[in-house]
Structure 1
């Protein structure tokens, strides 16, 4: 079931969104000025046509009476103490004052909704969604890499409501929202934005900001807020890969380097690149799987595991291949990377 999207940090909420040209207070001021201008028009016409009004109290129409009658008529239907008696005054009330009254009420109700009800509801809705965010995946950046990551996560059985996409571009957020994921419009390099998506409660962060400097800054910010979260980042320049790791990235992926590996591998055999793509894609017949060593596997060689083909193990943060000495005897705490049939995952 699709979960409602996270309210945006930017003040827009329509399907096609952009930052409004006017600030909140400027918009409020213009509405007040418009309402006062309409009241002044009604007041001027009433004063000029005061002979068509009758005061049932003292029989005299003063400026105060006109002001009183205008405000009462604009805000209510009147009390009957001052009434229009001439045809011209009644026509004015029918065809000019009634539309003015309705328009002022529309301004009043619209302002109440925009500045009180809508913002309050958005804050409440955001708190409700935030309270449910736990063990979710945060994707910072919904460009080519970010959108592919989201589609792959959903294909790998991650529920759409367990994914939160952060981006500043309305078009990107609209595309992400169409996938059913939660969205948040904001700058992922800021603490407040990552805190809003409960980064400390997330199970993983994917960073695909499109620029290496921005991606590295997001990694730094996230690592400070969530010291233990796995962070995968897309880095396009090879020189920046070490910086991303120093910033705290768990996994650094260079699309150009990976494409180069596929291309180079294809020159040594037509099926090598096909097999690598098969491992990476959710539609493939085999898959790479990472898991901790099981208790019954401790003491056995990596080649003896029954769940798949063991290709690598990680011990104390160091990688060891299946032919290394360390792979001849598994120890408690090892992480195993294995190739398994897709149907067994």
Structure 2
């Protein structure tokens, strides 16, 4: 069976694990105009140098060297035509030609053939950008699959303060990776079930990974590979069928979201209680209306009851246990607890001791 990203018959595919970084979008017309202006600057600088030292030049057709003669000499010299009718005669003029005009001639030619040179040097420049990007990438978020689920997860991360340069997208479809690039995210084109693709996304140094492919078996394989590469990474995975959720947890996923059953429950709730369904949808959408958020307990809240908190506390996370707000064990909050709260989106701010962008 052909794996995503493999080379198919009749065309060459991009190598597995190709990393694409977002780059500024400059139109071809603007690039040509920029190069033309640079070439004109080089031309006029050379004309000025020759004109200032015109007494050191000899014109075979007449006795003096005018400004027009300087412009003519500069044009034929930079274009390497060189008719020889105007030549540097004095030592200073020859020295300026050797040390200044010749480098300017080379620069002028480089600008004229800049398109060809750019194609030749693009790979080197891209490799330099990749090396710099990899050296600075730490504690980032990897998103596997840039479909509907993956995009929604990315938008939620952005709404909580996560920076775009701290998100890396992996997808086997070139169009999905290009879309991620256009939105400012680094992208890796390839099959995320392969360890070399995850390594190119620096999973071994990532803080968390969101796994949202189209197939449940892909989610299991990606989870196993990611857990093997980084035992400390936080893994949140999505599956379509609820029967595959236990397998994902056994594979190493910290959180498993069942998309099919969750959507079915929302549909049923919408029929039985439309208003409750609207509230749930509001809670799911970050940045609007009500937000559902996990945050640490502050020093002022420690020792008190969940009912005394300014936010509406839904549950208390103590160690690996999740306690309901009215659980007797959660009657007195501890400083090491974390709270799952509901509050207005406009009031979303980083809590004391919590880094902005921490979505765990």
- Of the candidates 319, 322, 330, which is equivalent to residue 319 of structure 1? 322
Q: Are the aligned partners of 1:10 and 1:185 in contact in 2 as well (CA < 8 Å)? A: no
CA distance in 1, matches of 2:159, 2:335: 32
Name 2:32's counterpart in structure 1. Answer: none
Name 2:178's counterpart in structure 1. Answer: 174
Does residue 213 of structure 1 match 2:217? yes
Deviation, 1:215, is 0.9
Name 2:154's counterpart in structure 1. Answer: 150
CA distance in 2, matches of 1:123, 1:236: 38
Q: Are the aligned partners of 2:241 and 2:261 in contact in 1 as well (CA < 8 Å)? A: no
Name 1:139's counterpart in structure 2. Answer: 143
User: SS in structure 1 opposite 2:181?
Assistant: helix
Name 2:304's counterpart in structure 1. Answer: 300
Does residue 199 of structure 1 match 2:203? yes
Name 2:252's counterpart in structure 1. Answer: 248
Q: Are the aligned partners of 2:287 and 2:346 in contact in 1 as well (CA < 8 Å)? A: no
Superposed CA RMSD in Å reads 2.7
Name 2:313's counterpart in structure 1. Answer: 310
Does residue 223 of structure 1 match 2:223? no
Name 1:273's counterpart in structure 2. Answer: 277
- Spell out the pairing of 1:2-81 with structure 2 (5 A cutoff): 19=13
CA distance in 1, matches of 2:207, 2:282: 25
Q: Are the aligned partners of 2:209 and 2:234 in contact in 1 as well (CA < 8 Å)? A: yes
Name 1:329's counterpart in structure 2. Answer: 332
CA distance in 1, matches of 2:165, 2:236: 20
| Change in CA separation of 1:20 and 1:248 when aligned onto 2, cut-off 3 Å | closer
Q: Are the aligned partners of 2:241 and 2:259 in contact in 1 as well (CA < 8 Å)? A: no
Name 1:264's counterpart in structure 2. Answer: 268
Name 1:83's counterpart in structure 2. Answer: none
Give a deviation string over 1:126-171, Cα, whole Å, max 9, x none.
Answer: 1111112123211111122112222333344422222110112111
Name 1:101's counterpart in structure 2. Answer: none
Name 2:109's counterpart in structure 1. Answer: none
CA distance in 2, matches of 1:327, 1:165: 39
CA distance in 2, matches of 1:270, 1:335: 31
Deviation, 1:10, is 9.3
Deviation, 1:288, is 0.8
CA distance in 2, matches of 1:200, 1:305: 38
Q: Which runs of 4+ in 1 moved over 4 A?
A: none
Calculate the TM-score normalised by the size of structure 2.
0.61
CA distance in 1, matches of 2:216, 2:346: 36
Give a deviation string over 1:237-272, Cα, whole Å, max 9, x none.
Answer: 111101111111121111222212212222332210
Which structure 1 segments of 5+ residues have no match?
1-8, 12-16, 22-105
CA distance in 1, matches of 2:300, 2:243: 43
CA distance in 2, matches of 1:155, 1:338: 17
Q: Are the aligned partners of 1:312 and 1:320 in contact in 2 as well (CA < 8 Å)? A: yes
Deviation, 1:234, is 0.9
Which structure 2 segments of 5+ residues have no match?
16-112, 349-360
Name 2:39's counterpart in structure 1. Answer: none
Give a deviation string over 1:156-203, Cα, whole Å, max 9, x none.
Answer: 442222211011211111221121111111221222222222223323
Deviation, 1:211, is 0.8
318-327 vs 232-241, which moves further: 318-327
CA distance in 2, matches of 1:266, 1:135: 39
Does residue 341 of structure 1 match 2:348? no
